[in-house]
Amino acid sequence: VLQEMAKSECHFINGTEEVRFVYRYFYNRLQYAMFDSDVGHYVGFTPFGEKVARAWDSNPELMEYKRGQVDRYCRNNYEGSTP
């Protein structure tokens, strides 16, 4: 059985002062690509992931959207995700 999965994470340091958004892509439990808001672009971990990361990084609309996820997804949901 082949399985693909994506996982998004928000890392909060000092509340919403420093926020990191990470989006990971997996295929058969192997991470092949990742977007990290601290890095600001996609990173590939396999030959396929490197190819996909280059294609995604060359799309300005996608990059603007992903970079905005820190505010839109993480900071906006901070109150609901903290005890």
Annotated domain spans of the chain: 4-81
Contact 23, 66 (CB under 8 A): yes
DSSP tag of 45: S
Q: How many other CB atoms sit within 10 Å of the CB of residue 78?
A: 13
Q: Is 67 strand, coil or helix? A: helix
Selected from 3.10.320.10, 3.30.1490.20, 3.40.605.10, 3.40.50.300, the CATH number assigned to the domain covering 4-81 reads 3.10.320.10
Question: What digits encode the pLDDT tens for the residues 10-29?
Answer: 998 888 788 999 999 999 99
Give the C-alpha distances (Å, rounded to integers) separating 29 from 2, 24, 36, 76.
Answer: 9, 11, 19, 30
Q: What mean pLDDT is reported for the chain?
A: 92
Spans of the chain, pLDDT less than 50: none
Distance CA 29, CA 33 (A): 12
